[in-house]
Structure 1
Amino acid sequence: MGDAAYLLQKSPRSDALLEKLPVGIKGFVLREDVEARGLNETSRFDAIDYEDFVSLCVTYDKVQSW
């Protein structure tokens, strides 16, 4: 969420951070945040809207958002 969308930009720093994620962890990014920052969507994360975000939040017991 928010400026965390900048992680979509390919760089040595973002690559190093993403390499630390355990295998099988799925990431999501709010499409509105991508568009607001002029970024391109990437296959690293699934771009979702707010309705999808709410659905994810009520589906899982633990939610991490930065």
Structure 2
Amino acid sequence: MLIITRKKGESIMIGDDIEIVISKIDDGSVKIGIKAPRDIEVLRRELYEEVEKENKEAAKVDISMLRNLNKK
């Protein structure tokens, strides 16, 4: 993990087209802005994990259902 110190108004570049901007620093929290191309999905980690969990649940297939489809 890379640790970088930034002040309000400063930013970090990821590649050529993603910029992370520090917009506000308060007691114990930091507000950031993310400038990225529209085709790059940006999610909070907890939301990303929830989406992954739902995708895994949706991917579970009842094998007996598949066997019944094969008999038709």
TM-score range (shorter-chain normalised) is under 0.3
Give the TM-score of the pair, scaled to structure 1.
Answer: 0.24
Bigger-Rg structure (1/2): 2
Higher relative CO (Cα under 8 Å, sequence separation at least 6) belongs to: 1
Give the TM-score of the pair, scaled to structure 2.
Answer: 0.23
| Richer in helix (by share) | 1
| Richer in strand (by share) | 2
